[in-house]
Amino acid sequence: MSDRGEKARTSGRDRPHGNRIGVYICHCGGNISDYVDVERVLEAVKDEPGVAVAKTAMFTCSDATQQEMAEDIREHGLDGLVVASCSPKLHQFTFREVARRAGLNPYQYSQVNIREQCSWAHTDDRAGATDKAIRLVRGGIARTRSSLPLTPLVVDTVPRVLVVGAGVAGLRAALGLAQVGLEVVVVEREAEVGGWVAGLGELYPHGRHGGGLVAGLLDQVRAQPGITLLTGAELVEKSGAFGNFQVEIRQGASRTVRADVGAVIVATGFETYDPPAGEFGRGRPGVVTLPEFQRFLEAGTGALVYEGRPVRSIVYVYCVGSRQGPKAGGGNLYCSRYCCGAAGHLSNRVADRDPAVRQYHLYRDIRTYGNLEAIFTESRNRGSVYIRFDESEPPVVSGDAGAGEPRLKVRVRDLLTAGEELDIRADLVVLVTGMVPRPNEELVRTLKLPVGKDGLFSEIHPKLRPVETVVDGVLICGACQGPKNSSESVASALAAAAQGAAVLKKGYAELDPLVAVVDPERCDDCGQCYPACPFEAIERVPHQGREVASVRRAVCKGCGACVPVCPAAAIDLLGYTDEQIRAMIDGLLKETA
Amino acid sequence: MALVSPSLAAEVRASSDFDASACLNCGTCTATCPMGLDPLPRRLFRYVLLGLEDKIRESVETVFSCLLCRMCEASCPAEVPIAENVRSLRRYLNRAAFGLREAFGEAGEGFMSTEGGRGDVASDRPHRRAPGGQS
């Protein structure tokens, strides 16, 4: 992990035979060339210092042009590559690979964005767009002139994973990891495993029994010698970096377990929304939450009797604790996804027990994606009436019923009957409560977990990197990152297991070399960079009889926060060195006429 | 403000072929109705599902103005038997609003359901279609 050698040299300018850079300007089939005169751009940049080859192409990302670039790199012995095309989000990886295939260091490639940030943004000004493209390409060439051939940091990884939380997600992730031969340590805060699902009966959409599901998983977990399950235990300390974390787990009052792990999977689940007294009649006899109603249904058979009274009529109020926008008085903004299906499922179980029970569903929107639509259809076909209300005029639950009548009354304006205001008598009012984040401050602090505005853990990208967090090696899955039903939780747990295993089974990991480096000769250990780093990547190390700051490369994310705070200008960000940035600015400012 | 009457809804459902539970409230039926009569048919069916008896009684004119042309049924994405539902409502109103069951018995029920006086009682009802009927 030593990077002393590279610290001394962050300039690529002292090349023995000057630069040999290849520049390729893309038409993007017209996306760029309709607004940017690419031939004029070519003329303006082909004689820039260091440019050995300059061309335009209809599609630089096409196989043919990639092939041509690779040939140019080999033929002309290029030491830098610039492609002016789309956003690096789209094709940076593509062209880095072209460089790699042709024997050029991929970090000596620069992508210049003349599509999203130029042609698309300036469709009303062709001359201006062309002018801007010239400046952007010159900036890219200037940056590439002093680029360094960087190599990814290779770290050895420990073939063991820590799973935090032993609900269905955590247990399934542990099993998945053990099945591919990794060791697993599972930490559960509670005395029992299984979380919410362990306490549930028949689950939608698969109809399996929650308690049985957990018992089955637990049997399989126990049969895996590679899994260590610690209940009544909490993660209290984490140090080290991706691939080799040291974790400390406290079990009970006295026992401390230490382990080296390569990755951490967080599967801490959710809490159910607990409406305060008064919200939709909460506190009145007969007003229950979704989990309370589920437990009530599972506790009996035959006709429904609640607190000694027969149940003839049930009103469900949806989106309680979910989608609470400013109109509804704040709270959670997100949709809890699982509750529409759960309430529909339970209404069908009520119809199984007693088809004569009248059921009214007061909803804002119904979210029954995929096969869950079948639950909704069955519910309607079996007599449930769905009544749609507006967020700004929520139902009012009161208790002023006459003698011998159901004890609750719900007043609601039904949008589907053109705004008719309805009074519905009910024996039970079920508040279809959503999922809320669990309080986990200690864990968030220990793992530096990214927490979103909604209080849930944040992945890097919900579709492209759905179980990874910005902390390398810390993965999330299940309902702790967002509301999910049990099937979805298990699916995301398997995704996290696959992601963790993909890295750890290799035995090593390659980390992006675009990290900060400290020049120990310049550093006088003033201490300002340590608190500037959001990842605690900077440590104090001895250097020639004194102490200096040093960046732990495996921890550094290359954010650059430490660079400007250094009064001695001892810190540089590889790939974005001060020298490169200054050269880029010069390139951008050079007159184009 | 209207009180939801579960007994009425149950009565209509149990005593007839009325079935609007599949209705999605999309409004295609109302849009295609050549009579353009509000509240036909979607709002009317809501009244029944919710058991809003007064609202149904208020709708006598429109219930009996329906041509039973089935334009709505042909367009309905949820395959609701709209015309049959309207017939059920006519039978219900004959009984509940006009007390015609007592006066005419079973024949009266059928008689009143052919509002417009086309005369062929059975022709309106596919499952009781009379030979030579002209629907």
The pLDDT tens digits of the residues spanning A4-18 come to 334 435 555 555 557
The reported pLDDT for the residue numbered B123 is 30
CA A410 from chain center: how many Å?
40
- Helix (H, G, I), strand (E, B), or coil: what is residue A261? strand
Alpha helical stretches, state H, A273-363: 290-298, 338-353
Chain A positions touching B39 (Cβ under 8 A) are 418
Q: In sequence order, which residues have a C-beta less than 8 Å from that of residue A450 and are 6 or more positions away?
A: A457, A458, A469, A470, A471
Q: Average pLDDT, stretch A520-545? A: 94
Q: How far is CA A590 from CA A86, A142, A348, in A?
A: 23, 11, 72
Going by DSSP bridges, is the β-strand pair A263-266/A160-164 parallel, antiparallel, or unpaired? parallel
| Cβ neighbourhood burial of A517 (10 Å; 0-12, 13-18, 19+) | buried
Rounded CA gap, A524 and A107, in Å? 30
pLDDT band of B56, cuts 50, 70, 90: confident
Beta bridge partners of A54: A23
Rounded distance, CA A361 to CA A339, Å? 12
At residue B134, the pLDDT reads: 40
Instruction: Determine contact: A416 vs chain B, CB below 8 A.
Output: yes
Q: Touching check for A387 and chain B: CB below 8 Å? A: yes
User: What confidence score (pLDDT) does residue A327 get?
Assistant: 59
Contacts A–B by Cβ distance under 8 A = 51
pLDDT at A517 over 60: yes
Q: What is the pLDDT of residues A343-400, one digit of tens each?
A: 999 999 999 999 999 999 999 999 999 999 999 999 998 989 999 999 889 999 998 6
A421 near A411, Cβ under 8 Å?
A: yes
Under the banding of pLDDT at 50, 70 and 90, the label for residue B70 is: very high
Query: How would you classify the pairing of strands A160-164 and A183-188?
Result: parallel
Q: What's the pLDDT score for residue A249?
A: 97
Q: Do A417 and B1 touch (CB under 8 A)?
A: no
| A403-426 confidence digits (pLDDT tens) | 667 889 999 999 988 888 999 999
Would you say A393 and A242 are in contact if contact means Cβ atoms under 8 Å apart? no
The Cα A414–Cα A393 span in angstroms is: 10
Pairing mode, if any, of strands A358-363 and A385-388? parallel
How far apart, in Å, do the first and last CA atoms of chain A sit?
A: 48
Expressed in angstroms, the distance from the first to the final Cα of chain B is 40
Q: Which amino acid, one-letter code, is at A180?
A: V
**What does the pLDDT read at residue B25?**
84
The rounded mean pLDDT for chain A is: 92
Q: Which residue has the higher pLDDT, A500 or B42?
A: A500
List chain B residues with CB under 8 Å of A377.
22
What one-character DSSP code corresponds to residue A232?
Answer: S
pLDDT digit string, tens, across residues A86-101: 999 899 999 999 999 9
Q: Check if B135 contacts A (Cβ < 8 Å).
A: no
Enclosing H/E stretch for A211: helix A210-222
Give A360's contacts in chain B (Cβ within 8 Å): 4
pLDDT > 70? residue B103:
no
Stretch (H or E) spanning A396: strand A396-398
Determine whether the interchain pair A421/B4 forms a contact, defined as Cβ–Cβ distance below 8 Å: no
Mean pLDDT of A135-160: 94
- Domains by residue range for chain A, with CATH: 4-149 (3.40.50), 160-269+438-508 (3.50.50.60), 273-434 (3.50.50.60), 515-573 (3.30.70.20)
CB atoms within 10 A of CB B105: 11
pLDDT tens for A424-469 read 999 999 999 999 999 999 999 999 999 998 899 999 988 889 999 9
Model confidence at B128: pLDDT above 80:
no
| Of A523, A592, A578, A571, residue with least CA distance to A13 | A578
- Ramachandran bin of A129, using left for φ above 0, alpha for ψ from -120 to 50, beta for the remaining angles: alpha
Q: Does A383 touch chain B (CB under 8 A)?
A: yes
Helix/strand/coil (H/E/C) assignment for every residue in A402-454: CCCCCCEEEEEEEHHHCCEEEEEEECEEEEEECEEECCCHHHHHHHCCCECCC
Residue A3 has pLDDT above 80, yes or no: no
Q: What is the pLDDT of residues A566-577, one digit of tens each?
A: 999 999 999 999
User: Which amino acid, residue A505?
Assistant: K
> Are A489 and A477 in contact, with CB atoms under 8 Å apart?
yes
* Residue of chain B minimizing CA distance to A314: B6
Which phi and psi angles does A229 have, rounded to 5°? Answer: -105, 120
Provide mean pLDDT across the span A519-529.
95
Which chain A residues have a beta carbon less than 8 Å from that of B8? none
Quick check: B3 contacting A, CB < 8 Å? yes
A380 close to B (CB below 8 A): yes
This complex has an ipTM of 0.73
DSSP secondary structure, A493-548, as one string: HHHHHHHHHHHHTTSEEEE-S--EEE-TTT----S-HHHH-TT--EEEEEETTEEE
Predicted confidence at residue B23, as pLDDT, reads 85
Q: Using the CB atoms, write b or e for A188-220: b if 16+ within 10 Å.
A: bbeeebbbbbbebebbbbeebebeebbeebbeb
